[in-house]
């Protein structure tokens, strides 16, 4: 290679584009009305573009603007998006602006993703977890342009991202330190930010947004919708898993099952004498249903992937518990949160739409390619982990001196889902989806080998204790109720599994079904949560039935 080789081609290209747009920029600042022109000038056809947007926070002004660019000028973009959440995230593919997509999660748009893959208007790079998508921004998906959102920006381009810092830092760093272009939409431009979350040196262009970035209260669950079946399952989980294994650190997925657990800690957990003995440390979004447990002194620390709408004031008033900056507002961090969720925790508790007869689970069902977000990070056993905790060690096989413990990975499901379809199935819909969408792997969320416990309204299957696939299947059948899988269960086998502690029914655990009533919840509704918070929690309008 000759000495004349340009080893700074990315820098040269970046400078040329910024220089060409100088008349549209005042220093780093562009005007809202010029946003489309600025994107057309700074994004080149074929570029790798990261668009911020996870399951909560969306760079919605920039995504709307990107959808308006002229596909004659900007096309064949390779988009990298944690979450496909908004219509224009897919419009840009139909309109010829983008052609390839790497993503993690597609909840609200999952049906359309499936259709677009089938009709060829979308080419998938891969379906990731959050953590691997972030990791690849430093390896083989290094971005040319990143589009992110900030709450406030000062005159030097310093960003305040506060409660919803989320994935902004890990995205911005990948571009700022590899001659990518960092474009920020700002809710507000101010003289002085409350604190600097991301230094202005890392930011190239700031555009004031026409309205604040979209933010979804994804983790808010109204206690009034928790059923007595969910309360029964929560009681079993607390006694038969949290207490039994002395779990100290935990992540809860989204859902009413885990909300029920949170609301039973100060009541049922207290009755069991578990206060001070379990779950002091959490990696979890600040779900409002945690408030009673926090106020009752159950919880020592919570680190969060993101914020939660309405929880800001409460979090600011509880800095011993939450991660809060010197300015008094929360800082979240999705990359570090996923890292902690994968490597540092005793236990992950999640839910799913389907579990097959072997124990593999997926939220991908027929026609809906939803992706996984962070669940496979949290819901897998990281074999690189070397530190040891009592919970971890309690799952250690006793016949191998070189053996080690493992992460508790718990699936909590009712045997029939909200749609009246069985959760336990012989074969996952994901197997068909793989073929339809021509994926390299069956889109399994959590593999059987990583799943240590399944909880249903029937009981708990302690899968980590099984020593063959046949025994694992029998344990699953034992708690699968009247689903086709459950109907195969042999009462004599169940009796044996119960005797050996591989399956536990409520009566085996000493959990009384009659106690599983809504009165056991520490909060019955949103108003109760507000009261527990001393008025500091401010629920979003759609959850405020009383005002």
Q: Please report whether residue 94 would count as binding a second copy according to CB under 8 A.
A: no
- Among 24-32, 71-79, 208-216, 386-394, the segment contacting a second copy (CB under 8 A): 386-394
- Among 231-239, 268-276, 329-337, 511-519, the segment contacting a second copy (CB under 8 A): 329-337
Helix (H) or strand (E) holding 35: helix 35-42
Q: How far apart are CA 315 and CA 332, in angstroms?
A: 11
Q: Which residues contact 56 (CB under 8 A, 6 or more apart)?
A: 164, 166, 215, 216, 218, 219, 285, 306, 307, 308
* Interface with a second copy: number of residues (CB under 8 A): 100
Helix (H) or strand (E) holding 186: strand 181-189
Mask 176-195, x = binds a second copy (CB under 8 A)?
xxxx---------------x
Q: How far apart are CA 291 and CA 537, in angstroms?
A: 9
Bridge partners, residue 150, by sequence? 186
- Using DSSP bridges, classify how beta strands 159-160 and 145-153 pair: parallel, antiparallel or unpaired: antiparallel
Q: Which of 295, 313, 471, 496 binds a second copy (CB under 8 A)?
A: 295
- Tokens at 192, concatenated: 């002085």
By beta-carbon proximity to a second copy, the closer residue of 9 and 115 is: 9
Q: Which of 96, 108, 212, 382 binds a second copy (CB under 8 A)?
A: 382
Sites for a second copy among residues 301-320 (CB under 8 A) = 301, 303, 317-320
Q: Closest separation between CB of residue 140 and a second copy, Å?
A: 5
Q: How far apart are CA 258 and CA 246, in angstroms?
A: 17
- Using DSSP bridges, classify how beta strands 354-356 and 281-283 pair: parallel, antiparallel or unpaired: unpaired
Q: Please report whether residue 249 would count as binding a second copy according to CB under 8 A.
A: yes
Sites for a second copy among residues 362-381 (CB under 8 A) = 372, 376-381
Give SS3 for 501.
coil
By beta-carbon proximity to a second copy, the closer residue of 207 and 345 is: 345
Q: Please report whether residue 431 would count as binding a second copy according to CB under 8 A.
A: yes
Q: Which of 440, 519, 541, 547 binds a second copy (CB under 8 A)?
A: 440
Q: Please report whether residue 118 would count as binding a second copy according to CB under 8 A.
A: no
Q: Please report whether residue 515 would count as binding a second copy according to CB under 8 A.
A: no
By beta-carbon proximity to a second copy, the closer residue of 339 and 505 is: 339
Bridge partners, residue 101, by sequence? 79, 124
Q: Which of 248, 258, 352, 456 binds a second copy (CB under 8 A)?
A: 248
Map tokens 């085996």 to a residue.
508
Residue 375 CB burial class (10 angstroms; 0-12, 13-18, ≥19):
buried
Sites for a second copy among residues 34-53 (CB under 8 A) = none
By beta-carbon proximity to a second copy, the closer residue of 189 and 536 is: 536
Q: How far apart are CA 342 and CA 57, in angstroms?
A: 22
Q: Please report whether residue 200 would count as binding a second copy according to CB under 8 A.
A: yes
- Tokens at 237, concatenated: 């989980």
- Among 43-51, 207-215, 401-409, 466-474, the segment contacting a second copy (CB under 8 A): 401-409
Bridge partners, residue 198, by sequence? 159
Q: Which of 45, 111, 388, 495 binds a second copy (CB under 8 A)?
A: 388
Q: Which of 4, 7, 19, 514 binds a second copy (CB under 8 A)?
A: 7
Q: Please report whether residue 157 would count as binding a second copy according to CB under 8 A.
A: no
Q: Which of 86, 244, 331, 472 binds a second copy (CB under 8 A)?
A: 331
Report whether 340 contacts 382 (CB < 8 A). no
């Amino acid at each position: 290679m000759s000495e004349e080789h340009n080893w700074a081609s990315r820098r040269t290209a970046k400078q040329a584009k910024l220089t060409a747009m100088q008349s549209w920029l005042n220093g780093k600042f562009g005007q809202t009305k010029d946003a489309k022109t600025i994107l057309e000038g700074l994004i080149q056809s074929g570029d790798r573009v990261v668009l911020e947007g996870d399951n909560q926070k969306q760079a919605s002004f920039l995504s709307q603007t990107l959808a308006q660019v002229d596909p004659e000028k900007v096309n064949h973009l390779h988009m990298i998006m944690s979450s496909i959440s908004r219509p224009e995230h897919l419009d840009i593919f139909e309109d010829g602006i983008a052609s390839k997509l790497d993503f993690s999660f597609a909840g609200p748009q999952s049906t359309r993703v499936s259709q677009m893959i089938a009709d060829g208007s979308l080419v998938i790079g891969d379906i990731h977890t959050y953590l691997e998508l972030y990791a690849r921004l430093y390896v083989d998906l290094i971005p040319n342009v990143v589009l992110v959102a900030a709450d406030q920006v000062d005159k030097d381009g310093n960003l305040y991202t506060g409660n919803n810092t989320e994935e902004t830092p890990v995205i911005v760093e990948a571009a700022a330190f590899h001659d990518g272009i960092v474009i920020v939409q700002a809710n507000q431009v101010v003289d002085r930010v409350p604190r600097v979350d991301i230094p202005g040196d890392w930011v190239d262009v700031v555009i004031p947004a026409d309205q604040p970035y979209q933010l979804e209260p994804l983790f808010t669950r109204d206690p009034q919708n928790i059923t007595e079946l969910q309360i029964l399952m929560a009681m079993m989980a607390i006694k038969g898993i949290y207490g039994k294994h002395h779990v100290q650190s935990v992540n809860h997925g989204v859902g009413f099952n885990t909300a029920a657990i949170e609301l039973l800690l100060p009541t049922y957990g207290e009755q069991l004498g578990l206060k001070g003995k379990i779950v002091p440390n959490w990696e979890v979004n600040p779900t409002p249903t945690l408030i009673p447990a926090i106020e009752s002194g159950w919880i020592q620390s919570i680190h969060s992937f993101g914020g939660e709408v309405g929880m800001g004031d409460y979090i600011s008033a509880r800095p011993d518990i939450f991660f809060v900056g010197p300015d008094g507002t929360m800082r979240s961090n999705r990359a570090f949160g996923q890292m902690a969720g994968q490597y540092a925790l005793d236990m992950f508790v999640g839910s799913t739409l389907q579990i097959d007869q072997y124990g593999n689970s997926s939220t991908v069902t027929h026609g809906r390619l939803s992706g996984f977000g962070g669940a496979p990070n949290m819901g897998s056993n990281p074999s690189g982990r070397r530190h040891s905790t009592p919970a971890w060690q309690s799952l250690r096989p006793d016949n191998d001196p070189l053996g080690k413990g493992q992460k508790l990975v718990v699936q909590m499901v009712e045997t029939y889902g909200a749609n009246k379809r069985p959760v336990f199935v012989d074969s996952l819909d994901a197997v068909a989806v793989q073929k339809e969408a021509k994926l390299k792997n069956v889109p399994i969320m959590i593999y059987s080998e990583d799943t240590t416990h399944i909880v249903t309204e029937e009981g708990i299957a302690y899968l980590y204790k099984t020593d063959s696939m046949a025994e694992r299947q029998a344990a699953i059948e034992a708690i699968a109720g009247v689903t086709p899988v459950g109907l195969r269960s042999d009462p004599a086998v169940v009796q044996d599994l119960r005797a050996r502690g591989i399956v536990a029914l409520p009566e085996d655990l000493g959990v009384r079904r009659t106690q599983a009533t809504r009165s056991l919840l520490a909060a019955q509704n949103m108003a109760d949560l507000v009261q527990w918070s001393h008025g500091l929690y401010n629920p979003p309008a759609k959850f405020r039935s009383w005002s």
